[in-house]
């Protein structure tokens, strides 16, 4: 009995290569009609049957939507007709060789396995593949393999649990593409033709419209106007810092925060420093425990925010670097909004890879020993897992930007897997903080302060000595509003302040 043939098609060449090497290490590739989409041949057992598998790929979407020929030219119809005009799906000209390769491979295959990304976009690309293969082989059986990272465990598990393609998800993605085409084309033609009649300078330009670009442009314009309308104004504030040699320091903030009059602020400072030996008095110290929840799984937005805040790396650069690490099978798929791990993920195995690193190996070993206990997040989607490391990578294996992104993922990954037996088993950790209320000297009386203010400017007195100012500054024996600490103090500093 002849061995059956299976055609496995991934979404990009690097994924096809990764799948082939995981299923059959050392698999060689051959060239087909598509120069950049190599073909890997291997043997594998699927559903208890032996198959000769040909593994290849596409390069994302290779088809596009467009209006039929009668509506493609700008003056062929009124822009409003584009909302109802017929559209068609066609292979992009630059992917004609890829179309030829898919059809050649599908003719002799009994089974087609779609191995695109596990999301709506991947489902839509999958149906582009299915349509081309069925065009030359209507009897080919079609299955979908779903995986979220290029690991041997996930790839083999996905092949053991093949499912049916989801036409509803593909239709949802295609509907969005159709809406973008109709709205973008209609409004772009309308406003371009209209503005070209009004402004000669736009005679050769296109004024495009997009459902995403216009709201984004609105954000930019609003921010620009805020910056242009802002009027800078000088202000002054008083600050107190208490230092203990060899122990540390604690900063106090003025409860009033700031004043917009330098002369008044200087008078208040002179008042605090008046007298032969001015000293501040700690009127109260309160201690409190704070709890911080350990982070949930890492999604794309959080990764980009951390990279921007810690390394000044722009979001697109961060995502490009993460995708490079994904293609090298170092990180999981980086485009995900999920922050909750699936129950069947081999988390202990993933953390075990990090135990050899001198920077965080001891921490990872502790998690492996006691058992991972992932923190549940707010989003639990079924497409991709949170971003996590797939293996250990030494610094010498990556460029500087890759090291930064990799370290963000690795350092966060074990932290939110802290063991159920650790001190943060309830999902949070505690921290102690102290808040001290500090009163400054009151050597200058309220009457003296009032006389000083009058000597500065009668008009400013009328403006500044409002009821609130009098109540907060001239009452309570002429005391200014107290300073309050905003930074955590150590035990030694606390005892010193008391």
Separation of alpha carbons 322 and 324, rounded Å: 5
pLDDT for position 443: 43
Select from 100, 183, 96, 133 the least CA-distant residue to 7. Answer: 133
CA atoms within 13 A on the CB side of 392: 15
Using an 8 Å Cβ cutoff, are 480 and 256 in contact?
yes
- Alpha helices, DSSP H only, in 96-166? 96-107, 120-136, 152-160
Separation of alpha carbons 468 and 466, rounded Å: 5
Using an 8 Å Cβ cutoff, are 128 and 61 in contact?
yes
pLDDT tens-digit map of 161-205: 999 999 999 999 999 999 999 999 999 999 999 988 888 888 888
Q: What 3-state DSSP class applies to 159?
A: helix
pLDDT for position 425: 40
Dihedral angle sign, alpha carbons of residues 266, 272, 275, 277: negative
pLDDT averages per 10-residue partition of the chain, 498 residues: 90 93 90 93 92 95 94 91 94 94 95 93 95 96 91 90 95 94 92 89 85 86 94 91 85 87 89 79 80 80 92 93 90 87 82 89 88 76 81 90 93 58 44 59 50 43 36 38 36 36
pLDDT for position 286: 82
pLDDT for position 213: 81
Q: What is the pTM of this model?
A: 0.66
CA atoms within 13 A on the CB side of 185: 25
Sequence-separated (6 or more) residues with CB below 8 Å from residue 351:
364, 367, 368, 372, 413, 414, 417
Dihedral angle sign, alpha carbons of residues 213, 219, 225, 227: negative
pLDDT for position 384: 80
Q: Which residues are catalytic?
A: 333
């Amino acid at each position: 009995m002849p061995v059956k043939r299976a055609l496995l098609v991934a979404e990009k060449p690097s994924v096809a290569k990764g799948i082939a090497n995981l299923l059959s290490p050392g698999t060689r590739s051959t060239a087909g009609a598509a120069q950049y989409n190599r073909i890997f041949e291997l043997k594998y057992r699927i559903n208890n049957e032996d198959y000769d598998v040909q593994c290849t790929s596409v390069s994302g979407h290779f088809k596009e939507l467009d209006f039929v020929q009668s509506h493609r030219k700008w003056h062929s119809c009124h822009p409003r007709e584009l909302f109802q005009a017929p559209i068609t799906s066609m292979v992009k000209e630059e992917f004609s060789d890829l179309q030829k390769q898919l059809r050649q491979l599908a003719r002799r295959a009994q089974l087609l396995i779609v191995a695109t990304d596990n999301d709506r976009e991947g489902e839509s690309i999958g149906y582009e593949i299915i349509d081309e293969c069925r065009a030359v082989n209507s009897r080919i059986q079609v299955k979908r393999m779903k995986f979220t990272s290029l690991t041997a465990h996930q790839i083999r598990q996905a092949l053991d649990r093949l499912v049916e393609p989801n036409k509803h998800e593909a239709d949802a993605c295609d509907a969005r593409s159709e809406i973008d085409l109709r709205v973008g084309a209609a409004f772009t033609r309308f406003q371009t033709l209209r503005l070209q009649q009004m402004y000669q300078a736009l005679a050769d330009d296109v004024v495009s419209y997009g459902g995403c670009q216009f709201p984004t442009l609105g954000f930019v314009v609003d921010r620009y106007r805020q910056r242009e309308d802002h009027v800078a104004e000088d202000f002054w504030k008083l600050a107190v810092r208490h230092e203990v040699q060899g122990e540390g320091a604690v900063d106090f903030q003025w409860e009033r925060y700031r004043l917009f009059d330098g002369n008044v602020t200087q008078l208040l400072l002179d008042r605090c420093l008046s007298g032969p030996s001015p000293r501040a008095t700690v009127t109260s110290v309160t201690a409190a425990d704070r709890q911080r929840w350990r982070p949930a799984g890492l999604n794309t937005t959080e990764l980009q925010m951390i990279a921007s805040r810690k390394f000044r790396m722009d979001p697109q650069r961060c995502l490009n670097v993460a995708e490079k690490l994904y293609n090298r099978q170092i990180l999981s798929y980086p485009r995900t909004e999920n922050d909750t791990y699936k129950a069947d993920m081999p988390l202990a195995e993933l953390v075990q890879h990090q135990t050899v690193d001198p920077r965080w190996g001891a921490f990872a070993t502790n998690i492996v020993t006691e058992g991972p206990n992932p923190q549940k997040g707010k989003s639990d989607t079924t497409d991709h897992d949170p971003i996590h490391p797939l293996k250990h990578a030494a610094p010498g294996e990556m460029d500087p930007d890759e090291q930064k992104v990799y370290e963000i993922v690795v350092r966060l990954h074990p932290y939110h897997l802290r063991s159920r037996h650790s001190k943060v088993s309830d999902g949070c950790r505690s921290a102690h903080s102290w808040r001290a209320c500090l009163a400054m000297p009151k050597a200058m009386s309220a009457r003296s302060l009032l006389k000083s203010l009058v000597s500065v400017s009668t008009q400013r007195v009328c403006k500044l000595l409002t009821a609130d100012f009098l109540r907060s500054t001239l009452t309570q024996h002429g005391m200014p509003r107290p300073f309050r600490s905003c930074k955590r103090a150590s035990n030694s500093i606390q005892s010193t302040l008391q």
